[in-house]
Amino acid sequence: MGARGAPSRRRQAGRRPRYLPTGSFPFLLLLLLLCIQLGGGQKKKENLLAEKVEQLMEWSSRRSIFRMNGDKFRKFIKTPPRNYSMIVMFTALQPQRQCSVCRQANEEYQILANSWRYSSAFCNKLFFSMVDYDEGTDVFQQLNMNSAPTFMHFPPKGRPKRADTFDLQRIGFAAEQLAKWIADRTDVHIRVFRPPNYSGTIALALLVSLVGGLLYLRRNNLEFIYNKTGWAMVSLCIVFAMTSGQMWNHIRGPPYAHKNPHNGQVSYIHGSSQAQFVAESHIILLLNAAITMGMVLLNEAATSKGDVGKRRIICLVGLGLVVFFFSFLLSIFRSKYHGYPYSDLDFE
């Protein structure tokens, strides 16, 4: 048994191990090189990301909103890697652009960015920047953007979605509304801190002083307090202000008007039924006042006992005011509520 078993052991000793097949060493070497290359690429990405975040933090330490041109936009926003969210305001602040809305929106945007920069929750996950049309025309062209101001959110990964563009025309550009939109898109909650504004307090104090002084001067004759016409005028002013949308303007903070930066055309009436401009509310207020004046004249013509010819003239003037301005008001309503079937005089 021992003699027969010896040659078998020698043959087994001359065989190659089964766990080292032919060509395994080049394969292992290639795998090792691939792992080293992947590790080096990942390290390079991490270093690049750290440099970008460090640069953004340095800019934020100087100003809460930093300006970007085309090169900076492509490097810090369009080119990965990126693990931070970027809020960008696309605007046109140069004086020759005559964009008053851009200046108003910039003030609110500055309040929001300062509230984030000087809050205890400030971190490197959210930054605020700005691209001016005259400094980054190529960026506007790349994004097919034809209006300003526009607010966009660029997420850490992927492309911006439709909801990442702030609906300024419908919501307005108040800092509180921007903060709410940012919280929905980034889960970063910003508490807005506004600088002290004493204009309202001063105006109220002046009004109280004026009324108090008037009452003091007329203290021996206060019959004017019971004047029905005076109280009716005050009531009408309040009604006109409320029905024209002044409270909506106060809450939403819409722009006064909209100027197209390409053709310079100014729009005073918003084309959507979900929003309005400040100028639009002023127009509606004047139209309502004119219609009311016409109704007052019609009532005066019907109830007065003066000359018949004079009453006829008053009636015609009142009727003309009501028909003309109500038709104008109805045409504005039709332009905002598309498909509304009724009209009087056609102003379109």
Domain boundary among 166, 186, 206: 186
Round to whole Å and give the CA distance between 67 and 146: 19
Judgement on whether residues 204 and 304 belong to the same structural domain of the protein: no
Round to whole Å and give the CA distance between 105 and 117: 18
Q: State the total domains in the chain.
A: 3
What digits encode the pLDDT tens for the residues 122-160? 999 999 999 999 998 999 999 988 888 899 999 998 889
Residue 100 belongs to a domain: yes
Place of tokens 């005089």: 345
Residue 250 belongs to a domain: yes
Q: By three-state DSSP, how is residue 227 classified?
A: coil
Q: Which of 246, 265, 268 is nearest to 257 (CA)?
A: 268
Judgement on whether residues 128 and 172 belong to the same structural domain of the protein: yes
Round to whole Å and give the CA distance between 257 and 100: 9
Question: Which residue range is the domain that position 180 belongs to?
Answer: 43-186
CB-CB contact of 264 with 313 (8 Å)? no
Residue 27 belongs to a domain: no
Task: Give me the phi and psi of 266, to 5 degrees please.
Answer: -105, 130
**CA angle in degrees (0–180, nearest 5) for 62-65-70:** 110
Judgement on whether residues 48 and 150 belong to the same structural domain of the protein: yes
Beta-sheet strand order (sheet of 126-132):
65-67, 126-132, 85-91, 150-154
Judgement on whether residues 238 and 269 belong to the same structural domain of the protein: yes
The full DSSP string for 251-309 is HH---S-EE-TTT--EESS-SSTT---HHHHHHHHHHHHHHHHHHHHHHHHHH--S-HH
Residue 67 belongs to a domain: yes
Residue 134 belongs to a domain: yes
- Residues with pLDDT less than 70, the chain: 1-41, 261-263, 339-348
CATH of the domain at 64: 3.40.30.10
| pLDDT at residue 2, rounded to an integer | 45
The full DSSP string for 119-180 is STT--TTEEEEEEETTT-HHHHHHTT--SSSEEEEE-SSS---GGGB--HHHH---HHHHHH
Judgement on whether residues 136 and 265 belong to the same structural domain of the protein: no
**Beta partners for 91?**
132
Judgement on whether residues 162 and 251 belong to the same structural domain of the protein: no
Q: By three-state DSSP, how is residue 325 classified?
A: helix
Amino acid at 226: Y
Judgement on whether residues 164 and 202 belong to the same structural domain of the protein: no
Residue 38 belongs to a domain: no
What digits encode the pLDDT tens for the residues 42-88? 777 788 888 999 999 999 889 999 999 999 999 999 888 889 999 99
Judgement on whether residues 130 and 259 belong to the same structural domain of the protein: no
> Rg for the chain (alpha carbons), in Å?
35
Judgement on whether residues 142 and 231 belong to the same structural domain of the protein: no
Residue 22 belongs to a domain: no
Judgement on whether residues 207 and 326 belong to the same structural domain of the protein: no
Judgement on whether residues 55 and 182 belong to the same structural domain of the protein: yes
Judgement on whether residues 231 and 215 belong to the same structural domain of the protein: no
| pLDDT at residue 176, rounded to an integer | 92
Residue 37 belongs to a domain: no
